[in-house]
Amino acid sequence: MLEVKNWTAKIPPVSDEARSQAAKRMNQLTKPPGSLGRLESLAIELAAVTGEPLPQCDPAAVLIMAADHGVTEEGISAYPPDVTAQMVYNFLRGGAAINALARQANAAVRVVDIGVASELEAESLRKRKVRPGTGNFAQTEAMTRDEVLTALQVGWEEAADLARSGTRLLAIGEMGIGNTTTSAALVAAFTGRSPMEVVGRGTGLDDERLLHKARVIEKALSFHSIDPSDPIDVLSKVGGLEVAGLAGAVLGAASHRVPVIMDGYISTVAAWIAAKIEPAVHPYLFASHLSVEPGHRVVLNDLGKTPLFSLDMRLGEGSGAALAIPIFQAACRILREMATFAEAGVSGATHE
């Protein structure tokens, strides 16, 4: 088994040189300085992380990790766990929200079975099952430390493989009935916040079941003795296979200088954990939207990332991240394709 620190050290620092060249060019382009707002800072940060003063964010890919959660036995989701596997087939047939949004963004979708409870058969599925679902963390540990490390490794390999085959921008998504409970448990474990502050309705719980969901997490946290300074320990006690896999994917993408677009609650928690494992990954992380799940704001704030938009979405799958892909590509095009004042013969400002 590889030790996490052997491979997390491989993340390159961002390029200050590319950042300053991009910032200089941004100010010479034919527009009043700052007039493209956050697209400008986005383009400059993409230059820094890719190391290219004229960054390229095309082609983009969506990486979806799917897994089941033993804690669904506690009645914490509005839907049955079988929906995880059923949605994986829906992804592979192209009928899910993420497929429509990825097609809109011209992005490929890769679906990885990293821990779906049932056996899945499909040619286009990446079969990387670490174990068939986690244990019910209200009663036992979710998985072993070795399983966490294997899931991280799988995620790293899947993202690295996409990067090697040309992906320049990675949107991350997930499918796993019960995973908003897992995410809330992880956030409560790391931050010490009460579960009630960081749980949400997920697929659509009423008030009574929301309270029950918070209580299940509360009990789980007092059942386990968790070391919040050890991300592998936290993941093994109350984590999810797709969460660990996505954390690994974030690290793998960053190791190839590929920027990562986070989606909603679950994928942002995964990226946040990746940054706890290896802080060098932080500049490679970009927020897309703000989910309706209340804990999402908590994690984004802790990461210091501001979402680009807020459309009251609460789906997951990578949907918000896919929707953001064209914004990232637009930011890259601005640096690559706009003329400078000198090139276009346009007069500069008369007043500074």
Ligand X SMILES: O=C(O)c1cccnc1
Q: List, by residue number, the catalytic residues.
A: 317
Shorter beta-carbon distance to ligand X: residue 152 or 266: 266
The option from ligand X, ligand RBZ, none interacting with 177 (CB < 5 to 8 A, set by class) reads ligand RBZ
CB of 105 to ligand RBZ, least distance (A): 17
Shorter beta-carbon distance to ligand X: residue 128 or 296: 296
Shorter beta-carbon distance to ligand RBZ: residue 167 or 180: 180
Using alpha carbons, select from 234, 275, 245, 251 the residue that is nearest to residue 173: 245
Query: Which runs of consecutive H residues, i.e. helices, occur in 224-318?
Result: 231-238, 241-255, 265-277, 294-303
CB-side exposure of 211: number of CA atoms within 13 Å?
Answer: 2
Q: Which residues contact 127 (CB under 8 A, 6 or more apart)?
A: 113, 120
Question: Which residue matches tokens 């659509």?
Answer: 204
The option from ligand X, ligand RBZ, none interacting with 293 (CB < 5 to 8 A, set by class) reads ligand X
CA terminus-to-terminus distance, the chain: 59
The option from ligand X, ligand RBZ, none interacting with 332 (CB < 5 to 8 A, set by class) reads none
CB of 30 to ligand RBZ, least distance (A): 42
Shorter beta-carbon distance to ligand RBZ: residue 14 or 185: 185
Distances in Å between the alpha carbon of 45 and those of 194, 294, 302, 307? Answer: 34, 27, 19, 15
Under the binding rule (CB under 6 A), the answer on residue 315 touching ligand RBZ is yes
CB of 203 to ligand X, least distance (A): 6
Using alpha carbons, select from 193, 347, 179 the residue that is nearest to residue 263: 179
Under the binding rule (CB under 6 A), the answer on residue 175 touching ligand RBZ is yes
Query: Within positions 176 to 195, which residues make up the interface with ligand RBZ, using CB under 6 A?
Result: 176-181
Quick one: how far is CA 148 from the chain centroid? 17
Residues making contact with ligand RBZ (CB under 6 A): 77-79, 83, 87, 174-181, 202-203, 315-317
